[in-house]
Amino acid sequence: MEYEIANTPETLSGNFDPQDTVCSSLPDRGRKFTEPSRLNGGDRSPSVLRLHELRTSIAGRPLHRGISLSVDRGEIVGIVGNSGSGKSLLLKCIMGLLPPDDGVVEMFGTNLYSARDAELRRIASRCGVLFQHNALFSTLTVRENVAVPLRHLSGLPDDLLHEIADVKIAAAGLPADVADRLPGELSGGMAKRAGLARAIATDPELLLLDEPTTGLDVIMAEQIDSLIHDMAQVQNIAVILVTHDVDTLFEICDRAAALFDGEIVTLCEPRFLHKSPHPWVKAFLNARPRTLRAS
Ligand SMILES: Nc1ncnc2c1ncn2[C@@H]1O[C@H](COP(=O)(O)OP(=O)(O)OP(=O)(O)O)[C@@H](O)[C@H]1O
Ligand SMILES: [Mg+2]
Protein backbone atom coordinates (compact mmCIF):
# COMPACT_ATOMS: atom_id res chain seq x y z
CA MET A 1 0.00 0.00 0.00
CA GLU A 2 1.37 3.44 -0.93
CA TYR A 3 0.88 6.72 0.85
CA GLU A 4 1.63 10.12 -0.48
CA ILE A 5 1.55 12.97 1.99
CA ALA A 6 0.25 15.69 -0.23
CA ASN A 7 -2.68 17.98 -0.21
CA THR A 8 -0.69 21.00 -1.24
CA PRO A 9 1.66 21.43 -4.18
CA GLU A 10 4.68 22.18 -2.04
CA THR A 11 4.59 18.73 -0.52
CA LEU A 12 5.49 17.25 -3.86
CA SER A 13 8.66 17.59 -5.84
CA GLY A 14 8.94 21.13 -7.13
CA ASN A 15 9.13 19.58 -10.58
CA PHE A 16 5.89 17.66 -10.35
CA ASP A 17 4.40 17.01 -13.73
CA PRO A 18 0.94 15.44 -13.91
CA GLN A 19 1.95 13.69 -17.12
CA ASP A 20 4.98 12.15 -15.49
CA THR A 21 4.59 8.39 -15.50
CA VAL A 22 6.73 8.13 -12.40
CA CYS A 23 4.43 10.39 -10.42
CA SER A 24 1.35 8.75 -11.83
CA SER A 25 2.24 5.51 -10.10
CA LEU A 26 1.24 7.06 -6.80
CA PRO A 27 -2.42 7.27 -5.87
CA ASP A 28 -4.54 10.39 -6.30
CA ARG A 29 -2.42 11.86 -9.07
CA GLY A 30 -5.34 13.57 -10.76
CA ARG A 31 -4.58 16.94 -9.17
CA LYS A 32 -3.06 19.55 -11.43
CA PHE A 33 -0.02 21.46 -10.34
CA THR A 34 1.30 24.18 -12.55
CA GLU A 35 3.70 25.93 -10.22
CA PRO A 36 7.23 26.35 -11.61
CA SER A 37 10.01 24.31 -10.18
CA ARG A 38 10.87 25.26 -6.62
CA LEU A 39 14.40 24.03 -7.21
CA ASN A 40 15.51 25.21 -10.58
CA GLY A 41 13.35 28.15 -11.47
CA GLY A 42 11.05 26.32 -13.84
CA ASP A 43 13.57 24.45 -15.99
CA ARG A 44 11.53 21.59 -17.44
CA SER A 45 14.57 19.57 -18.49
CA PRO A 46 14.19 15.83 -17.88
CA SER A 47 14.97 14.38 -14.50
CA VAL A 48 18.57 13.38 -14.01
CA LEU A 49 17.36 10.05 -12.70
CA ARG A 50 14.04 8.36 -13.28
CA LEU A 51 13.04 4.95 -12.00
CA HIS A 52 9.85 3.49 -13.36
CA GLU A 53 8.14 0.43 -11.92
CA LEU A 54 11.47 -1.15 -11.04
CA ARG A 55 11.34 -4.78 -10.00
CA THR A 56 14.34 -6.74 -8.82
CA SER A 57 15.05 -10.01 -7.11
CA ILE A 58 18.09 -11.32 -5.29
CA ALA A 59 18.95 -14.99 -4.93
CA GLY A 60 15.57 -15.86 -6.50
CA ARG A 61 13.68 -13.75 -3.93
CA PRO A 62 11.66 -10.68 -5.02
CA LEU A 63 13.14 -7.54 -3.49
CA HIS A 64 11.83 -4.38 -5.15
CA ARG A 65 8.20 -4.62 -6.26
CA GLY A 66 7.59 -1.62 -8.50
CA ILE A 67 9.77 1.33 -7.45
CA SER A 68 9.05 4.63 -9.21
CA LEU A 69 10.98 7.77 -8.35
CA SER A 70 12.59 10.71 -10.09
CA VAL A 71 15.38 13.03 -8.99
CA ASP A 72 15.90 16.44 -10.55
CA ARG A 73 18.89 18.72 -10.82
CA GLY A 74 19.70 20.37 -7.52
CA GLU A 75 17.44 18.01 -5.63
CA ILE A 76 18.40 15.75 -2.73
CA VAL A 77 16.21 12.70 -2.22
CA GLY A 78 16.76 10.68 0.95
CA ILE A 79 15.90 7.00 1.07
CA VAL A 80 15.07 5.48 4.42
CA GLY A 81 13.97 2.00 5.34
CA ASN A 82 14.75 -0.72 7.82
CA SER A 83 17.89 -2.78 7.61
CA GLY A 84 17.64 -5.29 4.78
CA SER A 85 14.78 -3.45 3.06
CA GLY A 86 16.83 -3.16 -0.13
CA LYS A 87 18.20 0.39 -0.02
CA SER A 88 21.77 -0.49 -0.98
CA LEU A 89 20.62 -2.90 -3.67
CA LEU A 90 18.37 -0.18 -5.08
CA LEU A 91 21.44 2.04 -5.42
CA LYS A 92 23.32 -0.86 -7.01
CA CYS A 93 20.50 -1.30 -9.50
CA ILE A 94 20.76 2.43 -10.29
CA MET A 95 24.51 2.04 -10.71
CA GLY A 96 24.01 -0.70 -13.28
CA LEU A 97 25.23 -3.46 -10.96
CA LEU A 98 21.92 -5.28 -10.41
CA PRO A 99 19.89 -5.73 -13.60
CA PRO A 100 16.17 -5.35 -12.85
CA ASP A 101 13.68 -8.09 -13.69
CA ASP A 102 11.40 -5.38 -15.02
CA GLY A 103 11.05 -1.62 -15.19
CA VAL A 104 13.31 1.22 -16.24
CA VAL A 105 16.35 3.01 -14.85
CA GLU A 106 16.72 6.16 -16.89
CA MET A 107 19.73 8.38 -16.32
CA PHE A 108 20.20 11.67 -18.18
CA GLY A 109 17.40 10.54 -20.48
CA THR A 110 19.02 7.21 -21.38
CA ASN A 111 17.72 3.79 -20.39
CA LEU A 112 20.69 2.38 -18.52
CA TYR A 113 20.02 -1.28 -19.15
CA SER A 114 19.63 -0.95 -22.91
CA ALA A 115 22.48 1.55 -23.40
CA ARG A 116 25.55 0.78 -25.46
CA ASP A 117 29.04 0.73 -23.93
CA ALA A 118 29.96 4.20 -25.21
CA GLU A 119 26.76 5.65 -23.72
CA LEU A 120 27.37 3.84 -20.44
CA ARG A 121 30.85 5.33 -20.29
CA ARG A 122 29.45 8.81 -20.83
CA ILE A 123 26.83 8.25 -18.13
CA ALA A 124 29.42 6.88 -15.72
CA SER A 125 31.53 10.00 -16.21
CA ARG A 126 28.59 12.06 -14.92
CA CYS A 127 27.99 10.00 -11.76
CA GLY A 128 29.73 9.78 -8.42
CA VAL A 129 29.22 6.87 -6.06
CA LEU A 130 29.84 6.29 -2.37
CA PHE A 131 29.34 2.65 -1.40
CA GLN A 132 28.02 1.75 2.05
CA HIS A 133 31.35 0.20 3.06
CA ASN A 134 33.36 2.68 1.00
CA ALA A 135 34.95 0.04 -1.28
CA LEU A 136 38.36 1.70 -1.19
CA PHE A 137 41.23 -0.18 -2.86
CA SER A 138 43.27 -1.45 0.07
CA THR A 139 46.66 -1.31 -1.67
CA LEU A 140 46.25 2.26 -2.94
CA THR A 141 46.75 5.39 -0.86
CA VAL A 142 43.79 7.69 -0.27
CA ARG A 143 45.12 10.07 -2.94
CA GLU A 144 45.44 7.21 -5.44
CA ASN A 145 41.97 5.95 -4.54
CA VAL A 146 40.43 9.36 -5.15
CA ALA A 147 42.33 9.65 -8.44
CA VAL A 148 41.00 6.31 -9.76
CA PRO A 149 37.79 7.61 -11.40
CA LEU A 150 39.62 10.69 -12.66
CA ARG A 151 42.31 8.56 -14.27
CA HIS A 152 39.73 6.21 -15.73
CA LEU A 153 37.66 9.00 -17.26
CA SER A 154 40.07 11.81 -18.03
CA GLY A 155 43.48 10.42 -18.90
CA LEU A 156 45.10 13.44 -17.21
CA PRO A 157 48.78 13.20 -16.17
CA ASP A 158 49.48 11.85 -12.68
CA ASP A 159 50.62 15.12 -11.12
CA LEU A 160 47.40 16.87 -12.16
CA LEU A 161 45.28 13.89 -11.06
CA HIS A 162 46.89 14.01 -7.65
CA GLU A 163 46.44 17.76 -7.38
CA ILE A 164 42.70 17.42 -8.05
CA ALA A 165 42.52 14.46 -5.65
CA ASP A 166 44.07 16.60 -2.88
CA VAL A 167 41.42 19.30 -3.42
CA LYS A 168 38.63 16.70 -3.11
CA ILE A 169 40.25 15.16 -0.02
CA ALA A 170 40.22 18.60 1.61
CA ALA A 171 36.61 19.19 0.50
CA ALA A 172 35.61 15.96 2.25
CA GLY A 173 37.05 17.33 5.48
CA LEU A 174 40.20 15.22 5.66
CA PRO A 175 43.58 16.65 6.72
CA ALA A 176 46.20 16.77 3.96
CA ASP A 177 48.48 14.13 5.51
CA VAL A 178 45.73 11.50 5.17
CA ALA A 179 46.28 11.52 1.39
CA ASP A 180 49.39 9.35 1.73
CA ARG A 181 47.80 6.76 4.01
CA LEU A 182 46.41 3.38 3.03
CA PRO A 183 42.72 2.66 3.80
CA GLY A 184 43.78 0.22 6.53
CA GLU A 185 45.39 3.14 8.37
CA LEU A 186 42.16 5.19 8.53
CA SER A 187 39.45 5.39 11.16
CA GLY A 188 35.93 4.42 10.05
CA GLY A 189 34.92 8.06 9.72
CA MET A 190 38.06 8.91 7.74
CA ALA A 191 37.45 6.02 5.36
CA LYS A 192 33.89 7.27 4.85
CA ARG A 193 35.19 10.73 3.95
CA ALA A 194 37.82 9.23 1.64
CA GLY A 195 35.02 7.37 -0.14
CA LEU A 196 33.09 10.61 -0.40
CA ALA A 197 36.15 12.42 -1.80
CA ARG A 198 36.35 9.75 -4.49
CA ALA A 199 32.61 10.08 -5.20
CA ILE A 200 32.97 13.80 -5.92
CA ALA A 201 36.33 13.51 -7.72
CA THR A 202 34.94 13.92 -11.23
CA ASP A 203 32.53 16.77 -10.38
CA PRO A 204 29.52 14.51 -11.01
CA GLU A 205 26.05 15.71 -11.96
CA LEU A 206 24.45 12.83 -10.07
CA LEU A 207 25.67 11.61 -6.70
CA LEU A 208 24.63 8.23 -5.30
CA LEU A 209 25.52 8.08 -1.63
CA ASP A 210 24.98 5.08 0.61
CA GLU A 211 24.96 6.24 4.25
CA PRO A 212 27.34 9.20 3.85
CA THR A 213 27.28 10.18 7.54
CA THR A 214 27.15 6.77 9.24
CA GLY A 215 30.01 6.37 11.67
CA LEU A 216 30.92 10.06 11.71
CA ASP A 217 30.88 12.20 14.83
CA VAL A 218 28.11 14.79 15.02
CA ILE A 219 30.27 17.73 13.96
CA MET A 220 31.79 15.90 11.01
CA ALA A 221 28.36 14.59 10.00
CA GLU A 222 27.13 18.19 9.89
CA GLN A 223 30.10 19.20 7.74
CA ILE A 224 29.41 16.37 5.32
CA ASP A 225 25.72 17.33 5.24
CA SER A 226 26.75 20.91 4.40
CA LEU A 227 29.08 19.73 1.67
CA ILE A 228 26.33 17.62 0.05
CA HIS A 229 23.79 20.42 0.43
CA ASP A 230 26.16 23.00 -1.10
CA MET A 231 26.98 20.73 -4.01
CA ALA A 232 23.29 20.30 -4.76
CA GLN A 233 22.53 24.00 -4.39
CA VAL A 234 25.57 25.62 -5.96
CA GLN A 235 26.51 23.07 -8.59
CA ASN A 236 22.94 21.94 -9.24
CA ILE A 237 23.85 18.31 -8.63
CA ALA A 238 21.14 15.69 -8.17
CA VAL A 239 21.69 13.57 -5.09
CA ILE A 240 20.08 10.35 -3.99
CA LEU A 241 21.23 9.29 -0.58
CA VAL A 242 20.46 6.37 1.65
CA THR A 243 20.48 7.26 5.31
CA HIS A 244 19.53 6.15 8.79
CA ASP A 245 20.50 9.63 10.00
CA VAL A 246 17.34 11.54 10.68
CA ASP A 247 19.26 14.80 11.02
CA THR A 248 20.61 14.39 7.50
CA LEU A 249 17.10 13.64 6.29
CA PHE A 250 15.56 16.69 7.90
CA GLU A 251 18.46 19.09 7.37
CA ILE A 252 19.31 18.62 3.72
CA CYS A 253 16.84 16.38 1.89
CA ASP A 254 14.17 17.94 -0.32
CA ARG A 255 12.15 14.74 -0.32
CA ALA A 256 12.16 11.53 1.65
CA ALA A 257 11.25 8.13 0.24
CA ALA A 258 10.46 5.39 2.74
CA LEU A 259 11.11 1.89 1.46
CA PHE A 260 9.16 -0.94 3.02
CA ASP A 261 8.42 -4.45 1.80
CA GLY A 262 9.84 -3.68 -1.65
CA GLU A 263 7.82 -0.53 -2.23
CA ILE A 264 8.07 3.20 -1.62
CA VAL A 265 5.34 3.52 0.97
CA THR A 266 5.73 7.26 1.63
CA LEU A 267 7.19 9.99 -0.56
CA CYS A 268 7.09 13.57 0.65
CA GLU A 269 9.07 16.46 2.01
CA PRO A 270 10.66 15.36 5.28
CA ARG A 271 8.66 17.92 7.27
CA PHE A 272 5.48 16.08 6.27
CA LEU A 273 6.70 12.62 7.21
CA HIS A 274 4.89 12.85 10.53
CA LYS A 275 1.61 12.88 8.59
CA SER A 276 2.28 9.46 7.09
CA PRO A 277 -0.17 6.82 8.27
CA HIS A 278 2.30 4.06 7.46
CA PRO A 279 3.27 2.11 10.60
CA TRP A 280 6.96 1.85 9.71
CA VAL A 281 7.28 5.59 9.11
CA LYS A 282 5.51 6.27 12.41
CA ALA A 283 7.87 3.89 14.20
CA PHE A 284 10.88 5.47 12.49
CA LEU A 285 9.89 8.93 13.69
CA ASN A 286 8.77 7.83 17.14
CA ALA A 287 12.16 6.26 17.72
CA ARG A 288 13.69 9.73 17.41
CA PRO A 289 12.28 12.34 19.79
CA ARG A 290 14.49 15.11 18.32
CA THR A 291 12.77 14.62 15.00
CA LEU A 292 9.36 14.99 16.55
CA ARG A 293 10.46 18.27 18.08
CA ALA A 294 11.87 19.42 14.73
CA SER A 295 8.66 18.68 12.90
N1 LIG B 1 24.81 -10.41 -2.83
C2 LIG B 1 23.69 -10.77 -2.19
N3 LIG B 1 23.22 -12.04 -2.30
C4 LIG B 1 22.08 -12.41 -1.68
N5 LIG B 1 21.34 -11.59 -0.91
C6 LIG B 1 21.77 -10.33 -0.76
C7 LIG B 1 22.96 -9.85 -1.40
N8 LIG B 1 23.13 -8.56 -1.08
C9 LIG B 1 22.10 -8.24 -0.28
N10 LIG B 1 21.29 -9.30 -0.10
C11 LIG B 1 20.04 -9.32 0.68
O12 LIG B 1 19.13 -8.38 0.09
C13 LIG B 1 18.39 -7.69 1.08
C14 LIG B 1 18.57 -6.20 0.91
O15 LIG B 1 19.93 -5.87 1.15
P16 LIG B 1 20.45 -4.37 1.19
O17 LIG B 1 21.93 -4.44 1.37
O18 LIG B 1 19.95 -3.66 0.01
O19 LIG B 1 19.73 -3.83 2.51
P20 LIG B 1 19.76 -2.35 3.12
O21 LIG B 1 18.38 -1.83 3.09
O22 LIG B 1 20.81 -1.55 2.45
O23 LIG B 1 20.16 -2.66 4.61
P24 LIG B 1 21.13 -1.82 5.62
O25 LIG B 1 20.32 -0.66 6.12
O26 LIG B 1 21.44 -2.81 6.71
O27 LIG B 1 22.37 -1.43 4.86
C28 LIG B 1 18.88 -8.23 2.42
O29 LIG B 1 18.00 -9.23 2.85
C30 LIG B 1 20.23 -8.84 2.10
O31 LIG B 1 20.53 -9.89 2.96
MG1 LIG C 1 22.62 -0.81 2.98
Residue 132 included in any domain: no
Query: Across residues 40-60, what is the average pLDDT?
Result: 78
- Residue 282 CA to residue 94 CA, distance in Å, equals 28
How many residues in total does the chain contain?
295
Q: Are 211 and 237 members of one domain?
A: yes
Ligand whose nearest atom lies closest to the CA of 89: 1
What pLDDT is stored for residue 289 in this prediction? 52
Q: Are 162 and 279 members of one domain?
A: no
Q: Identify which has the larger pLDDT, 11 or 46.
A: 46
Q: Is the CB of 262 under 6 A from ligand 1?
A: no
Q: Is the CB of 88 under 6 A from ligand 1?
A: yes
Q: Is the CB of 60 under 6 A from ligand 1?
A: no
**Range in 5-14, 166-175, 193-202 the model is least confident about:** 5-14
Q: Is the CB of 97 under 6 A from ligand 1?
A: no
What pLDDT is stored for residue 216 in this prediction? 84
Quote the number of domains for the chain. Answer: 2
What pLDDT is stored for residue 217 in this prediction? 87
The alpha carbon of 258 and the centre of ligand 2 are apart by a number of angstroms equal to 14
Q: Are 96 and 209 members of one domain?
A: yes
Residue 40 included in any domain: no
The alpha carbon of 89 and the centre of ligand 1 are apart by a number of angstroms equal to 6
Q: Are 244 and 268 members of one domain?
A: yes
* Other CB atoms within 10 A of residue 30 CB: 7
**Long-range CB contacts (< 8 A, 24+ apart) of 40-45?**
40/14, 40/15, 40/72, 40/73, 40/74, 40/236, 43/73, 44/15, 44/17, 45/73
Q: Residue 45: which pLDDT band, with cuts at 50, 70 and 90?
A: low
Q: Is the pLDDT confidence value at 29 over 50?
A: no
Integer angstrom CA distances of residue 198 from 75, 168, 173, 230? 21, 7, 13, 17
Decide the pairing of beta strands 263-268 and 3-4.
parallel
DSSP label of 23: G
Query: Across residues 2-24, what is the average pLDDT?
Result: 32
Q: Residue 288: which pLDDT band, with cuts at 50, 70 and 90?
A: low
**Contact of 268 with 253, CB cutoff 8 Å:** no
User: What residue's CA is closest to ligand 1, atom 24?
Assistant: 83
Q: Identify which has the larger pLDDT, 103 or 41.
A: 103
Residue 133 included in any domain: no
Q: Are 147 and 177 members of one domain?
A: yes
Q: Are 57 and 168 members of one domain?
A: no
DSSP label of 128: E
Q: Is the CB of 132 under 6 A from ligand 1?
A: yes
Residue 256 included in any domain: yes
Residue 217 included in any domain: yes
What pLDDT is stored for residue 110 in this prediction? 92
Rounded to two decimals, what is the model's pTM?
A: 0.83
Q: Are 183 and 115 members of one domain?
A: no
Atom of ligand 1 nearest to the CA of 81: 21
User: What residue's CA is closest to ligand 1, atom 8?
Assistant: 89
Write the CATH number for 75: 3.40.50.300
What pLDDT is stored for residue 179 in this prediction? 97
Query: Across residues 87-100, what is the average pLDDT?
Result: 95
Ligand whose nearest atom lies closest to the CA of 58: 1
For the stretch 138-188, pLDDT in tens is 999 999 999 999 888 887 899 999 999 999 999 998 999 999 999 999 988
Q: Are 95 and 114 members of one domain?
A: yes
DSSP label of 212: T
Q: Are 226 and 264 members of one domain?
A: yes
Residue 286 included in any domain: yes
What pLDDT is stored for residue 42 in this prediction? 38
Q: Are 208 and 285 members of one domain?
A: yes
Query: Across residues 22-27, what is the average pLDDT?
Result: 28
Residue 131 included in any domain: no
Domain end: 169, 203, 237, which one?
A: 203
Q: Is the pLDDT confidence value at 24 over 90?
A: no
**Could you tell me the residue range of the domain that residue 183 belongs to?**
138-203
Q: Is the CB of 204 under 6 A from ligand 1?
A: no
Domain end: 188, 203, 218, which one?
A: 203
Highest mean pLDDT, choosing among 17-21, 41-45, 126-130: 126-130
Domain end: 186, 203, 220, which one?
A: 203
Q: Are 122 and 209 members of one domain?
A: yes
Q: Are 121 and 153 members of one domain?
A: no
Q: Is the CB of 84 under 6 A from ligand 1?
A: yes
Strands (E), 214-282: 238-242, 255-260, 263-268
